[in-house]
Amino acid sequence: MLIKKAYEASERAYAPYSEFCVGAALLTASGRVFTGCNVENASYGATNCAERTALFKAVSEGERAFSAIAVVGRKRGGEEQLCPPCGICRQVLAEFCNKDFLILLTNGKETERYTLEELLPHSFDRENI
């Protein structure tokens, strides 16, 4: 279900520069799902990734605890491909998600599962301050 919603979100990507469409579906601890897509910008650097779009939507709606995220990427009109979250998204996820938070990546045929700890080991977070 989460992967299907991530794919649907990728169809709403605003990606006129890279033509790389990403969708994410974030599951809250309370069972709600928030989706997000990448939103690019002519300045490039102001681009927001799909994962952060989903997370910021959820946090701005009052959610603070999360269980899992599914991510789907594909060139516009192309096949799905594994799309690991970028470093900035991993760091932003670590602000709200525990080490056992689940990250699902799929290319439509096979799905890879990682914990946040696996993708961002030895992270800098609030415990370090």
Which residues participate in catalysis according to the annotation? 51
Strand partners, 26: 34, 69
What amino acid occupies position 79? E
- Report the residue number, 38 or 106, with the smaller CB distance to ligand THU: 38
- Report the residue number, 83 or 94, with the smaller CB distance to ligand THU: 83
Q: Which of 22, 25, 55, 68 contacts ligand THU by CB under 6 A?
A: 22
Q: Which of 100, 93, 92 is nearest to 118 (CA)?
A: 100
The owner of tokens 């952060």 is 52
In the bound complex, what is the minimum distance in angstroms from residue 101's beta carbon to ligand THU? 15
Q: What is the DSSP letter of 128?
A: G
Residue 113 in contact with residue 102, Cβ under 8 Å? yes
Residue 86 in the binding site for ligand THU (CB under 6 A): yes
In the bound complex, what is the minimum distance in angstroms from residue 88's beta carbon to ligand THU? 9
